[in-house]
Amino acid sequence: MRNPYLPYPVRIDEIITETEDRNLKTFKFVFLDPDDEGRFAYRAGQFAELSIPGKGEIPIGIASSPTETGFVKFTVNKVGLVSSFLHNMKVGDIMGIRGPLGNSYPWEVLEGKNVVIIGGGFAFTTLRSSIVYMLEPGNRPKFKDIHVIYGARNPGMLLYGDELAAWERRDDIHMHITVDGTDDPNWKYNTGFVPTIADQKAPPADPDTYAIICGPPIMIKFTQPVLDKLGYGHDQIIMSLEMRMKCGIGICGRCNIGKDFVCKDGPVFTLAQLNDMPKEY
Amino acid sequence: MTFVKIDKNAWEAGLARLAAAYRLFGPVKEGHSHEFKALDAGQRPDMAYVNTRRSPKALIYPQSEKMFDFSLDETQADHHILREAEKDYAPCAVIGIRPCDADAFLLVRKNFDTPEYRDPYWVKAYEATTFVGLACSAPCSTCFCTTAGSGPFHEAGLDLLLADEGGTYLAKVLTPKGASLVEAAGWGDATDAQAAESRLQELRAAAEERIVSRVPTAKLKDQKINPLFEAPFWQEVAFSCINCGTCTYVCPTCWCFDIQDEVHGKEGIRYRNWDSCMYPLFTHHGSGHNPRNQKTQRVRQRFMHKLKYYVDKYGDGIQCVGCGRCIRLCPVNIDIRRVCNLMNHFDATACAIPAA
Amino acid sequence: MTGYTEKIREIAARLLTEKTVEMVIGFRKGTVPMMNEPYFVKNPLEAANLVWDSNCGINLTNYLTDRKEKIAVLAKGCDSRNIVTHIIENKVKREQLHIIGVPCQGMIDRHGISDRVDGEILKVVESDGRVVVSGRGFEQTFDKADVLQANCRLCIHRNPVIYDELVAEPVPEQQDVDRYVEERRIEAMDVQERWAYFDELLATCIRCYACRNACPLCYCPTCFVDESRPQWVGKSIDPIDTRTFHFLRAYHCAGRCTDCGACERACPMGINMRVFTRKLEKDCFELYGWEAGMSLDQRPPLDTYKLDDPEIFIK
Amino acid sequence: MAHMGVEPDRIQLSWVSSAESNKFVEVVKDVTASIKALGPNRNFVKTVAKVA
């Protein structure tokens, strides 16, 4: 069995600064050994450990979609030792990625359903992966209506601007982009917090409608009552959690909530599952 | 199952022969207490010990262990690529381990050796090791192994069980690994199995009689996680805790670790260290958020993990073998027996505070 | 110290009943011999759980840090000096505290006494300066003076230096104590001998941080060993890192340590890390005439400047 | 530091005002000379963490 702590060596192929505060960058990695790409087969919603020798590892959601080949992408917020170092690395530098890790969004369940994606701030990465995955021509017929409610503090803080614009132009996905506030007179989308926009734009509850929520705790806190009001069942609300992690494979012991490890049993849980777990996250 | 009688004169010679085929480890007196150590040539395990201060878990799972090395020197072809650390997994034998400590490895194995992932360091070290147990005839007052799923003559996790009978050891061969070791040692005096087994049971009953500490665990599995998590006693349980890592470090079943990189010049290693749920840093997010910011939360985590989460996750008994080390060494006398009692007998409905 | 328990229960019940304080911090009977557990009481009926004997070595000042309630706390001589330090360092307010002073006759060295008997100690009875320990098949009597914690043997401040009421009359202080025998012995060694001495001292350290966490002075929200940016110390049990932890921690206690012995008492490996802090304590005493925590009105030597401060270490 | 076995001359403390450039030069010369005389520190050096 392969050593699960051993990362696949990768080269940084491209670095894109995503936001105006320059704290979010997207890193596109190419595997040094092309065969590793096959070994790294993943599903939208999974994450990986980005591994920088001498600095350590950080768990980051996979932003690329399994339908995109030849590379993997991660959008990283600059917060700690490893992410700050990564932000200063250059195209061509060698590092490692270890994964894919965790469960994913429940694609077997979501097939044939309406999917409502609700995201805020930099937690949009695995949601981007999911949208790209669902919009792939081979996959799109498997899903019914797709709604995306995505907000950031201001237009300059939205991730993946070009893609958002492209999705806006399509008629097989309902985009509801919003910002908390802006003084840009040309802003042509919504203004308001994500929970408010969700209240206005999210489709009503239906046994065939599932919501995926990913965002800062405060957004989740206020979005949940909105979905409750709309009548969403708690097993139709899907969330992805964050925790401090090290091993990523359920062994090192730190990221548990109750008996479940966020790294291995999660990071994706339904609200119904979370209701049965201690409130310790 | 075969039994062998080992004359204590043959014991020494057997150990000497074993040293040629195995790296030997055993209890050695260090200062005023015993520790498991690699036995140097000619050194003998001190079989008169009661129990070691630290558990023998470090034999399989060292407190600090190298995982990889790497070079940051860009003139090297494999710079910035991790290389597997060279390890020696030649056969080892641990002589004189107590049954509770050996049983602990089985509990820990559930964590390190899973259907999805196998921790190669732990699994290889464990598989390379033969465990020669020494049945416990004089347990401490803090031992509660018999109610923690283990016992002074517990066989699970051992390859060979020795019972001290004065001039001889009565040895029960429990696995093929144990049989190979007996053969390598040349301890050949097979003895009547039926008589030996009944003698062993006699000794076992006498030893179990001497275990005075008990923990009730029967109701733990039927407790609901959330009410137990919110039980009112945690604040009182945790009050005296100073959040050191003693309980977790001396515990044979605590397995949590941290991964660190360290670089000197252009060469570096990635290694892991035991970590402890008692430390705030254990769950501190990069963002500054910490889900277990308060000491009460951390103390609760340790006991909930051992006595509830583990029970539920694996459908097993408690994640504790009753060795009593945490009770003996806790600097402020937090006693797992007391906490287990509280948890087991917790009645959420009785404790509910009526609405004002 | 017989009779202390009843008096303590009485005081605690009174303070809680009269609502002078919201909680009383003391000890309850431990579950193993020679161990009592730090314990808080909020209900006067529970005051009966409080105990006092020679196994109350844990420094209760540790339990006051950053608390906001009105608290009554039991304080031996050393504890009281740490409370003074806590107040000076703004970790607790004097007005918050009702200090119940406990004149102390020394605490039993639980590790030490276990090393001196053959077998597990199951019972310890103390009376008239004698300690009788017994277990399966043995009973042994010690002079209490012979089984005291090392710091208690050297203690010259057994009576609390600050209190609101005393549990009993002050006890006589120990006279003619030569406090720094071991430090002078180390000072007489050459450089290599000293290095080796400390190597051996720390060889068994498992970096559990019990010493740090038991210490009332170590209240930093993030200890330097836990910092990651920059990371000052490696995290493994490498001897250099272990030593760095111990000597740097000791520096942080310079001029603050009261030699309460909490660190040594807490250590599961029986390491006497007091040799680090005691050297600094000795220097503070010899250079500045300073003993930590003796008065609320004096600033510690390391945050004051006097024209006559010695300069012998400045070249 | 000296107490635990670092050579006393390895750690020196001097008080130099920003106006005392000559004293600063002297101190630096003295310190480097005494450290060179001591030779490299063999004790307090870590080349790689001693781990299993």
CATH number of residue A149's parent domain? 3.40.50.80
Does residue B216 come out as left (phi exceeding 0), alpha (psi in the -120 to 50 range) or beta?
beta
Q: What is the band of C300 on the pLDDT scale with cuts at 50, 70, 90?
A: confident
pLDDT at B121 over 90: yes
Please state, in angstroms and rounded to a whole number, the distance separating the CA atoms of residues B168 and B182: 15
Alpha helices in C234-273 (DSSP H): 239-252, 262-266
Strands (E), chain C: 23-29, 36-41, 71-75, 97-101, 123-127, 130-135, 138-143, 165-166
For residue A81, what is the nearest residue in chain B, using CA coordinates? B286
Cβ-based contacts under 8 A for chains A and B: 128
Nearest residue to B332 via CA among A186, C214, C229, A272: C214
pLDDT in tens, B337-350: 999 999 999 988 87
Contact present, A44 and A133 (Cβ < 8 Å)? yes
Chain segment C238-252, per-residue pLDDT in tens: 999 999 999 999 999
More confident residue, A1 or C63: C63
CB interface of A with C, residues 55-94, below 8 Å: 80-81, 84
Q: For residue B351, what pLDDT is reported?
A: 58
How many contacts (CB atoms, under 8 Å) link C and D? 52
Number of domains forming the structure of chain A: 2
Q: Do B64 and D47 touch (CB under 8 A)?
A: no
- Nearest CB to C279; choose among D3, D5, D46: D3
Of A99, A129, A147, the residue that ends a domain is: A99
pLDDT digits (tens, 9 = 90+) for B45-94: 999 999 999 999 999 999 999 999 999 999 999 999 999 999 999 999 99
Residue C305 has what pLDDT?
86
Interface membership of D14 toward C (CB under 8 Å): yes
Q: How far, in Å, CA of B251 to CA of B326, rounded?
A: 7
The domain in which residue A70 lies consists of 8-99
Check whether residue A25 and residue A43 sit in a common domain.
yes
DSSP class of B353: P
Ranges of chain D whose pLDDT falls below 70: none
Q: Within an 8 Å CB–CB cutoff, is residue D47 touching chain B? A: yes
The pLDDT assigned to B189 comes to 73
Nearest partner of A234 among A275, A277, A263, judged by Cα: A275
For residue A267, whether the previous peptide bond is cis, meaning omega lies within 30 degrees of 0, is yes
**Partner-chain contact C210 B54, CB within 8 Å:** no
| Element of type H or E holding A261 | strand A260-261
Does chain B reach chain D with at least 3 CB pairs under 8 Å?
A: yes
Pairing of strands B267-274, A8-17: unpaired
- Would you state the pLDDT for residue C160? 97
A121 shares a domain with A199 = yes
Q: Indicate the residue of A53, A55, A251 with minimum beta-carbon distance to B117.
A: A251
Cα distance from A5 to chain B (closest Cα, Å)? 8
Best mutation site among C228, C231, C235 for testing chain A: the one with the most A CBs within 10 Å?
Answer: C228
With beta carbons less than 8 A apart as the criterion, state whether B252 and B104 touch. Answer: yes
Q: How far is CA C205 from the centre of its chain?
A: 19
C-interface mutation test, from A55, A78, A81, A82, most C Cβ less than 10 A away: A81
Whole-prediction pTM: 0.93
Nearest chain C CA: its distance from A57 CA (Å): 13
Whether A269 is in a domain gets the answer no
Q: What is the pLDDT of residues B216-234, one digit of tens each?
A: 999 999 999 999 999 999 9
User: What pLDDT shows up at residue C2?
Assistant: 64
| Cβ distance of C276 and D4 shorter than 8 Å | yes
Sort out which chain C residues have CB atoms less than 8 A from D30's CB and list them. 315
CB-nearest to D49 from C194, C197, C234 is: C234
Residue A21: inside a domain: yes
CB interface of D with B, residues 27-46, below 8 Å:
46
- pLDDT recorded at residue B353: 53
Residue D48: per-residue pLDDT: 81
**What does the alpha-carbon distance between residue C309 and residue A42 come to, in Å, rounded to a whole number?**
68
- Residue of D3, D17, D28, D44 to mutate when probing chain C, most C C-beta within 10 A: D3
The structural domains of chain B, with segments of one domain joined by +, span 2-209, 220-349
pLDDT (tens digit, 9 = 90+) per residue, B155-192? Answer: 999 999 999 998 999 999 999 999 999 999 998 777 88
Neighbours of chain D (3+ CB pairs under 8 A): B, C
- Dmax of chain B from CA atoms? 75
User: How many Cα atoms occupy the beta-carbon half-sphere of A10 within 13 Å?
Assistant: 30
Q: Which residues of B touch C267 (CB under 8 A)?
A: 331
What is the structure's pLDDT at D42? 83
pLDDT under 70: residue ranges of chain A: none
Q: Quick one: pLDDT at residue B31?
A: 82
The pLDDT, as a whole number, for residue B30 is 86
The answer for B 245-264 residues in CB contact with D (under 8 A) is 262, 264
pLDDT digits (tens, 9 = 90+) for C205-222: 999 999 999 999 999 999
CATH, residue A60: 2.40.30.10
Same domain (yes/no): A69, A136: no
Q: Compute the mean pLDDT over every residue in chain B, rounded to the nearest whole number.
A: 93
* Chain A contact for B120 (CB, 8 A cutoff): yes
Instruction: Residue B161: name the closest of B200, B187, B191 by CA.
Output: B200
Q: What is the pLDDT of residue B1?
A: 60
Minimal-distance CA residue of chain B relative to C264: B331
CB contact (8 A) between residue B62 and residue D46: no
Chain C touches chain D, with at least 3 Cβ pairs below 8 Å, answer: yes
Q: Kindly report which listed range (C27-36, C234-243, C301-310) carries the lowest average pLDDT score.
A: C301-310
Domain boundaries, chain C: 1-108+155-177, 178-315
Please indicate, yes or no, whether residues A121 and A67 belong to a single structural domain of this protein. no
Residue A246 in any domain: the answer is no
Tell me the mean pLDDT in the region C135-163. Answer: 95
Residue B356 predicted with pLDDT over 50 = no
Of the pLDDT bands very low, low, confident and very high (cuts 50, 70, 90), residue B355 is very low
Same domain, A127 and A48: no
Q: Are C61 and C86 in contact (CB under 8 A)?
A: yes
Contact C37, C64 (CB under 8 A): no
Q: How far apart are CA C118 and CA B233, in angstroms?
A: 38
b/e burial code for range A3-15 (CB count within 10 A of at least 16 → b): bbbbbbbbebeeb
According to DSSP, the β-strands at A174-179 and A190-191 are parallel
Phi/psi-derived region of residue A177, left when phi > 0, alpha when psi is between -120 and 50, beta in every other case: beta
Show residues of chain C in contact with D41, CB under 8 Å. none
Among partner residues B79, B84, B304, which is closest to A94 by beta-carbon distance?
B79
Q: What is the pLDDT of residue B118?
A: 96
Strand-strand pairing, B129-134 and B92-97:
parallel
Q: Indicate yes or no: CB of B66 within 8 angstroms of CB of D46.
A: no
Strand boundaries in chain B, DSSP class E = 2-7, 23-30, 33-38, 64-71, 83-84, 92-97, 129-134, 160-164, 168-173, 190-191, 257-264, 267-274
Does chain B reach chain C with at least 3 CB pairs under 8 Å?
A: yes
- Interface probe for B, chosen from A52, A244, A262, A275 (most Cβ of B below 10 Å), is A244
Q: Residue A175 falls within a domain, yes or no?
A: yes
